[in-house]
Amino acid sequence: FREQNEAGGLFGRRLELIALDDGYEPNRTLQNMLELLDKRQVFAFVGNVGTPTTKIALPLALQKKTIFFGAFTGADLLRKNPPDRYVFNFRPSYRQETAAIVSYFTRRRAIEPSRIAVFAQDDGFGDAGYQGVVEELARRGYKTPPLRVGYRRNSNDVSAAVHKLLERKSTIRAVVLVATYRPAARLIRGLVDAGFRPIFATVSFVGSRALADELRELGSTYCDGVIVTQVVPHYDADLPAVKRYRRALQRFAPSEQPSFVSLEGYLVGRLLCEGVRRAGRDVTTSKLIAALETMNAFDLGLDHTLHFGHVRHQASARVYATILDARGVYRPLSLSK
């Protein structure tokens, strides 16, 4: 938004981003939503974080007929069919991310479906990721639900999950993680320290930089080979949109390092600005929705086009992948070749 404002805003009007922190706690989400809707009277929500928090935020936004755009979650509740009128997503769903992981495990690594387990947060976030695994395995003819172990949200106690996986270590070759970074890192450490090292793959919500930092702090042996799916290209990619992001980051936040999370946020902001531009000078919620729904095959400067439409409110279905090396550095990983 700072980049857009420096260029004159949109039709001479400046964009204002109001950020309130709920600490990933739904009770605080409720307070923040009421503050933003009733006191601040915001025009739209953009980049809301988390599934349990979205369960609280979304009904309030819909009740007030307020656009809910580019949330940082792949939760199913944002992806109804047909879509909610006021909900627009940028990123693929958690189901799509975990399905891509399963496809990679079974096709590229020749892992039998019965040898895949899931470590998932005990809430809607974990449920969505687990369901993606179940559905992809079923699509490949394997009907038995895979082993699921988990942990409570905002808890780092993964001891029970580690114990259950160690009990099955003779049969498990890969673990799909649908978790935040600290529990994910502790699970990896617990298993590796016990002499068990399956292939680990986690979804983008884990927070790639936070996970790498946590694993490096625990020890370099834990980093090597950990796979993380992404919903954007690598931040070093030679793509017009990514190069523009790096220039904007250097200009407006020179102390910050590029990351997958901030790249996603930048692309979400660019996409929303384009929608407002198409809606025209006297933008309203209805005009913005209509404008967004015209953005079919929109070229933002990535390696694929983005698609919104009347019955499609998710711009991208592309899942990328990265893999950590022993130094804790992410390298691109092809899921299909």
As a whole number of angstroms, the distance between CA 47 and CA 205 comes to 13
pLDDT tens, 95-154? 999 999 999 999 999 999 999 999 999 988 899 899 999 999 999 999 999 999 999 988
The SS3 call for residue 1 is coil
pLDDT at residue 154, rounded to an integer = 86
pLDDT tens, 198-242? 999 999 999 899 999 999 999 888 999 999 999 999 999 999 999
pLDDT tens, 300-337? 999 999 999 999 999 999 999 999 999 999 999 998 86
Question: CA-CA-CA-CA torsion for 266, 19, 255, 214, nearest 10 degrees?
Answer: -90
**What type of residue is 125?**
F
How does 168-199 read in b/e, with b if 16+ C-beta sit within 10 Å? Answer: eeeebbbbbbbbbbbbbbbbbbbbbeeebebb
pLDDT at residue 124, rounded to an integer = 86
As a whole number of angstroms, the distance between CA 35 and CA 109 comes to 49
Average pLDDT estimate for 25-31: 93
Q: CA gyration radius for the chain? A: 20
pLDDT at residue 149, rounded to an integer = 98
As a whole number of angstroms, the distance between CA 245 and CA 75 comes to 26
pLDDT at residue 43, rounded to an integer = 96
As a whole number of angstroms, the distance between CA 200 and CA 193 comes to 14
pLDDT tens, 69-101? 999 999 999 999 999 999 999 999 999 999 999
What is the DSSP-derived secondary structure letter of residue 122?
A: S
pLDDT at residue 46, rounded to an integer = 97
Torsion region of 172: left, alpha or beta (phi above 0 gives left; psi -120 to 50 gives alpha): beta
- What is 154-188 written as a DSSP string? T----HHHHHHHHHTTTT--EEEEES-HHHHHHHH
**Residue keyed to tokens 């096709």:** 107
pLDDT at residue 337, rounded to an integer = 65
pTM of the entire predicted model: 0.92
pLDDT tens, 230-258? 999 999 999 999 999 999 999 999 999 99
The SS3 call for residue 59 is helix
As a whole number of angstroms, the distance between CA 254 and CA 125 comes to 33
Longest distance between any two alpha carbons in the chain, whole Å? 64
pLDDT: which is higher, 2 or 314: 314
Average pLDDT estimate for 158-165: 98
- What is 232-301 written as a DSSP string? S--TT---HHHHHHHHHHHHH-TTSPP-HHHHHHHHHHHHHHHHHHHH-TT--HHHHHHHHTT-TTB--S
Among the listed residues 319, 274, 337, the one whose alpha carbon sits nearest the alpha carbon of residue 300: 274
Q: 63: exposed, middle or buried (C-beta count within 10 Å: 0-12, 13-18, 19+)? A: exposed
pLDDT at residue 269, rounded to an integer = 97
All domains in the chain, ordered by first residue: 2-91+258-292 (3.40.50.2300), 94-231+320-332 (3.40.50.2300)
As a whole number of angstroms, the distance between CA 223 and CA 191 comes to 13
